Structure 1
């Protein structure tokens, strides 16, 4: 039976979005928005550089190297990352964040001048009525700041991405004025920001369509980015909705770290785009990318985190294990990796793992013993380990299993 016949894919029925024909870029915000999470550590520069190389290994197209106007430490990190990209000729574009004020944009220009690296400045300003009310701003003030900041950035030789913070709670008329003014001033990319994770996929679709109409009306070639947060749990779904509506680039962070509870998870976005046929670059170093982020930022990866967590490809359930073992016995690695897994472990450099737990069958026990160099045909040994599992309230550790084996062997001596 062919592989195509073994999985009926409802995701690819006629009328579905053609992801294989979709070309979307990814912008990694781990080293800027990711480090704004209040529970993470700001890692040393050498670790940031190591992560930068892993981004390249994963085929990520662009990286936010930070907000150099935030202070000397932030400036030095941005400078070091820009130099690394230039000196190593890394195939990744760079952008840096700045408020729509000259004092924030000037350090970005200095980094560009010092390294010779073309840097896109992401100038951001709040656009929603609730933000305007809290800040005592009006739209005319925002427009004035927008024009001045973009004009200054263009004069400094920077490309400009104009970011309207809280876009998903902003009035259409305000956004139309801001986008048009930004493009007229020289911005060639606008970013739609779901700054507080307010949007649903339906809202994303409407907003992207609206923004595309405004951009088309300018007559200029302007790209559109999506920057989402996951306060309501819609981060990944919103990113996919934005892609389906035709945005040019999506922002995300490793493990979803970021302001409050974080951003779209770059790792999960990569996996899904790879499976959907859009991201064709190998992602076998995804675990390294996530583990390094966790280590250098001082965060823990939950055991049940999709794809990367310890339990992602691990089962102690009898029915599940039996199916995987039968697939292994057929000598079919493709089948083994998919019969009980929606994500093939091999694409991220991992393997299916079978454990022994209270819900295991004898097939789990026999398989485990065989894989660890014991006689899986020893029925008394199998029954002893199986009996131990049924008495426990947890998955057995290797030490527990081997202690039981030692007990059986000692009794036989």
Structure 2
């Protein structure tokens, strides 16, 4: 069994994604999470790029993390000095090596590039730091020249060489051949850095490992320049689950790490993102859901489970749902349903789905209660009697709720970044902080300034039980409150049953 090291560049290449700019406190939080996740190396930034970048790298270097901290530098003494002054464990130097890059971005001959690279490796090593050398645009560099420069820095005692597919033009078979050739001629460890311009970053990284690469460069959620980089979770789980190749990653923190980076960068992942996406272990199709309820590996890879990556499996209601999954969801919530009633509920769910509507848990339970004749208002855990929301140019958005909670009069208040945020916090405050909102989406379902707003929410308790619901009103705040209260009411009712 082989072991591969994980080099995370979320804080350097990941931050180069258009629209992403991380303040110091966010960078520190991500660095600590990456250390918790177990990455071997954290590329904290490009210290010479700005004063703020230098301070961020220096701060992360001072955290005494288990992971090594790396700083990026050109083959320029001032860049290297900035990285060394930031107290990094490793300096990652790079220089363009492809014909097109040399002609248009570097004012040096090929021989001068080799000489300067060797000089910089010597300089870094003389200061007691580790050195990584990158031949930028390696996949468009002539193999003879690529081999020459790598051999030269290997002889200068660089600790590792990096083979970047800088513009994402490699394909798995060609990249495999390239890494195999380099592996046969080099003794120094090989690292790879793949971009996703053609959607092949993960596949190329995987192929490189099979060809003999010792380390992979990845980012959380695959963020980065242009179309991004190889995704950390996908690469790691392919290696662990399919190839049985070890890494230092504690996979149970993959979902948690993805969500933190998603929140701090503002880059939301599509629900169908592999491994960490909301739908990665979700099933709506009746055939799939029925199979998964009996044996999860029927319609999941089997070699990776949601628990392995800190995720959850969900059986989702929709127009493709089958009777078995609808019955299972209802029974788990405490409803007793015979075949005749089940068929009526099933047909109603299909009817809603065929109208293009999302079918929420609340829709299913509302349908069931009407058909079963069980709808009882007094069973609601929360009944809101009065809502007051304060907001304005110089006023901190504040919401005050007067409600009856489990038959007891209660008043709660909360502040937020806006009136909706404050109101949602106040609602969850009625039943304690153990219930949180995991999804919030709003649509205008009519036009005009008095448009009717429809809000979808998912709430989750501390045990991982979740419930989806909707609310609609002309007032956005009230639509949000109604949705959350509907969800919380039914979540609490499900737990009671």
Q: Is the deviation greater in 72-81 or in 272-281?
A: 272-281
Give the conservation status (yes or no) of the 8 Å contact 1:319–1:361.
yes
Aligned to 1:364: 325
2:287 corresponds to 1:301:
no
Q: Structure 1 residues 24 and 69 mapped into 2: Cα distance closer, same or farther (>3 Å)?
A: same
Q: Structure 1 residues 411 and 33 mapped into 2: Cα distance closer, same or farther (>3 Å)?
A: closer
Q: What TM-score, normalized by structure 1, do the two folds share?
A: 0.84
Aligned to 2:98: 128
Q: What TM-score, normalized by structure 2, do the two folds share?
A: 0.70
Q: Structure 1 residues 304 and 74 mapped into 2: Cα distance closer, same or farther (>3 Å)?
A: same
2:358, 2:240 → 1: CA distance? Answer: 32
Give the conservation status (yes or no) of the 8 Å contact 1:69–1:104.
yes
Q: Deviations over 1:178-208 (max 9, x none)?
A: 1222223332211111111111112212221
Q: Structure 1 residues 172 and 355 mapped into 2: Cα distance closer, same or farther (>3 Å)?
A: closer
- Unaligned regions of 5+ residues in structure 2, if any? 377-497
2:211 corresponds to 1:245:
yes
2:337 corresponds to 1:337:
no
Q: CA deviation at 1:71?
A: 0.7
Aligned to 2:359: 396
Higher-Rg member (1/2): 2
2:30, 2:331 → 1: CA distance? Answer: 38
Aligned to 2:182: 211
1:67, 1:412 → 2: CA distance? Answer: 61
Higher helix content, 1 or 2: 1
Give the conservation status (yes or no) of the 8 Å contact 2:317–2:361.
no
1:365, 1:183 → 2: CA distance? Answer: 62
Aligned to 1:287: 255
Aligned to 1:17: none
Q: Structure 1 residues 121 and 412 mapped into 2: Cα distance closer, same or farther (>3 Å)?
A: closer
Q: CA deviation at 1:411?
A: 9.0
1:292, 1:412 → 2: CA distance? Answer: 39
Q: Deviations over 1:247-268 (max 9, x none)?
A: 1111000111111111110011
1:355, 1:385 → 2: CA distance? Answer: 15
Q: CA deviation at 1:59?
A: 2.6
Give the conservation status (yes or no) of the 8 Å contact 2:201–2:230.
yes
SS of alignment partner, residue 272 of structure 1: helix
Aligned to 2:83: 108
SS of alignment partner, residue 197 of structure 1: coil
Paired residues for 1:52-67 under 5 Å: 52-67=31-46
1:240, 1:91 → 2: CA distance? Answer: 25
Aligned to 2:15: 35
Give the conservation status (yes or no) of the 8 Å contact 2:168–2:198.
yes
2:14, 2:221 → 1: CA distance? Answer: 9
- For the aligned residue pairs, the C-alpha RMSD in angstroms reads 2.0
2:74 corresponds to 1:99:
yes
SS of alignment partner, residue 239 of structure 1: helix
Give the conservation status (yes or no) of the 8 Å contact 2:168–2:194.
yes
Aligned to 1:408: 371
Q: Structure 1 residues 409 and 206 mapped into 2: Cα distance closer, same or farther (>3 Å)?
A: closer
SS of alignment partner, residue 123 of structure 1: strand
Q: Deviations over 1:21-74 (max 9, x none)?
A: 11111101111111111132x223333233223323333211111111111111
1:232, 1:137 → 2: CA distance? Answer: 31
The correspondence for 1:354, drawn from 312, 315, 319, is 315
1:351, 1:146 → 2: CA distance? Answer: 48
SS of alignment partner, residue 163 of structure 2: strand
2:128 corresponds to 1:157:
yes
SS of alignment partner, residue 346 of structure 2: helix
SS of alignment partner, residue 7 of structure 2: strand
1:372, 1:307 → 2: CA distance? Answer: 28
Give the conservation status (yes or no) of the 8 Å contact 2:284–2:315.
yes
2:27, 2:344 → 1: CA distance? Answer: 50
Give the conservation status (yes or no) of the 8 Å contact 2:60–2:69.
no
Question: How many residues of Structure 1 are paired with residues of Structure 2 in the alignment?
Answer: 368
Higher strand content, 1 or 2: 2
Q: Structure 1 residues 176 and 277 mapped into 2: Cα distance closer, same or farther (>3 Å)?
A: closer
Q: Is the deviation greater in 347-356 or in 118-127?
A: 347-356
Q: CA deviation at 1:156?
A: 2.7
1:236, 1:283 → 2: CA distance? Answer: 17
Q: Which fold has the larger relative contact order, with Cα–Cα distance below 8 Å and residues 6 or more apart in sequence?
A: 1
Give the conservation status (yes or no) of the 8 Å contact 1:355–1:368.
no
The correspondence for 2:280, drawn from 303, 308, 312, is 312
Give the conservation status (yes or no) of the 8 Å contact 1:313–1:345.
yes
Aligned to 1:50: 29
2:185, 2:166 → 1: CA distance? Answer: 21
